[in-house]
Amino acid sequence: MTQTMAVAKALNESLRKALENDPKVLIMGEDVGKLGGVFRITDGLHKDFGEGRVIDTPLAESGIVGTAIGLALRGYRPVVEIQFDGFVFPAYDQIVTQLAKMHARALGKIKLPVVIRIPYGGGIGAVEHHSESPEALFAHIPGLKVVSPSNPSDAYWMLQQAIECDDPVIFFEPKRRYWDKGEVDVSALPGDLHRAVVAQQGTDITLAAYGPMVKVCLEAAAAAANEGRSLEVVDLRSLSPIDFDTIQASVERTGRLVVVHEAPVFYGAGAEIAARITERCFYHLEAPVLRVGGFHAPYPPARLEEEYLPGLDRVLDAVDRALAF
């Protein structure tokens, strides 16, 4: 039952499967219906499941998420699409003050199984507000689960697991990987949604990444291999919770760690990972934990984004610096 799919197609098939399996699953967002979404992730679902389950909404992110919360309170499982990463901020109040806190506020008696899908990151030549990486803002909030797939197989399975989860899940989709293809075993049993995986084994240094940067790290590992260096790549998959055990086990083998993400390094997810791994692996580390990411500046115009985005050279430079200790 293995099929070759792009990430976008895998997400579409995952949503279709969820709609088929549970009549309480709803999809809602701007242009998700007849248009099929700006990236066509919901293509064909409105036609096959109807406007009562694939719902075109007004341009009102706060209202979309607030409505999803109300639907979840009534027993539905809404899957919300935020059209672009930079559009989520009008809904941030609903997410932080209501969605993330309702379960604790009700002493565990209320569950809010809401998934918020957010295409994020740069690399597509878009205009302002269309290339943000705000994942750390959500990972910082107790009560939210935050995940990001890096490949078609994870996109297919992780989205279904997120929809089945009784807790709110922020599902970050690396938009510049939408067209990357890979094998998807639609009959396999998925692993733990929040478990990191070793995407490539190595012995000299660990690269930890998630979402769009996993591919860059795999390319860095291939380039380093030509120089006789062995890089291990850990795909984090989940940012809240973070699977520190898998990272720790890798670092105990390699003695070095570079954390890579597209978001700015300053107060990014890499800071928490670096601090935790330094605490856990102090006597195993042969070098300081290094971080590679975006600059602490607004995302630039499209013509400059290649200078802003962490690429192969910046990752390999960090590898060189870590191995120099």
CB 125 within 8 A of CB 138: no
- For the chain, the structural domain boundaries read 2-185, 197-324
Torsion angle of the four alpha carbons 268, 123, 197, 156, in this order, in degrees rounded to the nearest 10: 120
- Residue 311 confidence (pLDDT): 96
Distance CA 242, CA 237 (A): 8
Q: Using alpha carbons only, what angle is made at residue 137 by residues 136 and 141, rounded to the nearest 5 degrees?
A: 105
Q: Which amino acid is at 231?
A: L
CB 258 within 8 A of CB 206: yes
Average pLDDT, the chain: 97
CATH for the 2-185 domain, from 3.40.718.10, 3.40.50.970, 3.40.50.620, 3.30.70.890: 3.40.50.970
Q: Please, what's the b/e burial string for 276-291 (b: 16 or more CB within 10 A of its CB; e: otherwise)?
A: ebeebbeeebeeebbb
- Residue 1 confidence (pLDDT): 83
Q: What is the pTM of this model?
A: 0.97
Token pair 């697991």 in the structure block, residue:
161
Give the CATH fold of the 197-324 domain: Rossmann fold (3.40.50)
Among candidate residues 46, 103, 130, 194, the one labeled active-site is 130
103 an active-site residue?
no
Q: Using alpha carbons only, what angle is made at residue 161 by residues 124 and 194, rounded to the nearest 5 degrees?
A: 80
Which whole number is the average pLDDT over 230-243? 98
What are the tokens at 283?
Answer: 């006597």
Quick: pLDDT tens for 248-306.
999 999 999 999 999 999 999 999 999 999 999 999 999 999 999 999 999 999 999 99
- Residue 144 confidence (pLDDT): 98
First vs last Cα of the chain: how many Å apart?
Answer: 47
Check pLDDT > 90 for residue 151. Answer: yes
Strands 231-235 and 197-200: antiparallel
Instruction: Give the CA distances from residue 302 to residues 122, 135, 306, in Å, rounded to whole numbers and listed in that order.
Output: 9, 21, 8
Check pLDDT > 90 for residue 189. Answer: no
Would the CA dihedral through 83, 87, 90, 93 be positive or negative?
Answer: positive
Which whole number is the average pLDDT over 31-38? 97
- Residue 186 confidence (pLDDT): 93
Determine phi and psi for 316, rounding to 5 degrees: -65, -30
CB proximity list for 108: less than 8 A, separation 6 or greater = none
Which whole number is the average pLDDT over 200-205? 98
CB count within 10 Å of CB 58 equals 8
Instruction: Compute the half-sphere exposure of residue 29: CA atoms within 13 Å on the CB side of its CA.
Output: 28
Instruction: Give the CA distances from residue 296 to residues 148, 181, 271, 293, in Å, rounded to whole numbers and listed in that order.
Output: 22, 32, 14, 9
Same fold? 2-185, 197-324: yes
